[in-house]
A and B are shown apart, each in its own frame.
Chain A
Amino acid sequence: MLAIYRREIQSYFYTSAAYVFLGVFLTLGSIFFGVSNLAARSGNLLALLSELSYLWMLLSPILTMRLIAGERQRSTDQMLLASPCPLSGIVLGKYLAACTVLVMAVICSGMYACVIAVYGRLYAGEAAVGYLGLVLQGCAFIALDLFVSCFAKSQMTAVVLGIGVNLLVWMADVLASAVTIEWISRALNFVSLYQRFAPFVRGQLSLSNVMYYLFFIAVMMFMSVRALDARRWSEA
């Protein structure tokens, strides 16, 4: 697993994937910061983090498209499958590598917090909870898109599928507030990642929400392993 993790990290930076991800995230993040904080003369970091969380929907597939679909496209998946490393190790190594790049992006976005701290007032506890939520939200999207990537034969398909599924997740949030039937609304609220994220950007740390994210990630990992294993039994 460590071998896979190291290779993926190297690969992100040998190719343009990590630079595109970090570049787009920080460019759009800076625009949000400029408009929401600098131009509005606001020190509300949590509102900025809430806006940044929507970027995961579009950017997470950039990190995950190569993980499974890319290997399949290059036929390097056979090298991994023929190695003694178990499928769970392969999936986990790749997932952690993508999460590491995401965490790097979040660390870079810490400069916005620094600016607010210098020129305004920053509540460290609130900021920490907000950043924890942002990381968990991003890791959940990566887990979801990694699972989606298991069904794609090319990286392009993986990106399109990933963005599509992410939008559906976001739609669940929108639908939950629009649907009048209570149990459907409640169910949609339960599966909505954005509903779980909302308390973090209010500065509220809830163990149940953290557990929900961890459970969601574990389920996605498990399903990714099963999807890859199922392909061995059925692939034409």
Chain B
Amino acid sequence: MKEKIYLDNASTTNLSAEVLSAMMPVLTSTFGNASSIHSFGRDASVLVEEGRAKIAESINAKSNEIYFTSSGSEANSWAIIGIANANRDHGNHIITSKIEHPSVLQACKYLEDNGFEVTYLDVDGNGYINFAQLIRAIKPTTILISIMAANNELGTIQNLKAIAQTAHEKDIIFHTDAVQLYGNMEIDVTDLGIDAMTISAHKIYGPQGVGALYLSNKVKIEPIIFGGNQERNLRGGTINTAGIVGFAKATEIAMRDMKINNYKLRSLSEYFIAKLTDTVENIKINANVRQKLPHILSVSFVGVDGESLLMKLDMNGIAVSTGGACSSNSLSVSYIMTAIGLKNEDARSTVRFSLGKNNSFEEIDKAVSIIKKCVDELRAYSSTYGMKIRKRKGDKNV
């Protein structure tokens, strides 16, 4: 079988062997329900609280400010809807951006349908929000600002401290979706002034099916999942002990190896960009800025449909993503690409490569040569490629 190359680490990462080793005894021996009062339950509960403490420490929060969820999407939805509902007596206006994860945008849409008002901020060509627009958008009724820490398709990192300061000047709660940033960069919620933050295990080589919401003790929230007294009566549902143990272990490893991983990912990314730019002509690296996650690369290939390239690469053993247009077999366009100003036809030409700590320089070499082959094959029968190149050269007679 062909050796496969995984370049979709922003979708999910592989479960690390160290994490699996930490989880195995929990899955097999310490299987009690962490809410049970017998010894099986108490043993599980100890592990959960140790995990909570470890995750809290990683972001300079208190243990009782970490709430476990089933995913980043749940934590995002809960933060938006739960905070909005709990603080409704102060106002009904929420500010977010046009490039948030669907779990934020759809929660906002739900609130709009239920009497809230939402402002969706524009972003510039690199995915940064416009501060002047943010300040103008604030109203006396604004109760929550939710801006993602790092974008899942572009990797662009927002200025969280400045957004938090802007929010706090007007007594507004600041939530950030840090699913992509967490574990890749240090986040000190106290220093940055973050009131609520979403994180997830499977983006940092932990298990799928467990996320967390950091919620400052100063912030009021209402539950959206009922039926149990778990998570201080705020999130019902049996606690995923093995998942939490895995999450905590993944956090410990991410914090321990952060510097070396960052160095490796930056080197791999720079090598990939240089090699790709040299090998494949007529491409554009989107949001090619310094203040971003190095491992997320958004690349537009002139004259090529991104989903076709994804499928062709998959047939050749390389896994990538077309980002927001995650429902395949459609002709939809990533709203994030539209938000940064790409025309539909260019947005459709975009593919996201997201590197991981397990990728090697040899894999990048191999991947680039396969990308070149696939792009050439698609351009050979592209109906727009020649047309677009002529347009670019500005010579109608070519």
- The answer to whether A binds B is no
Which residues in B have some Cβ–Cβ distance to A below 8 Å? none
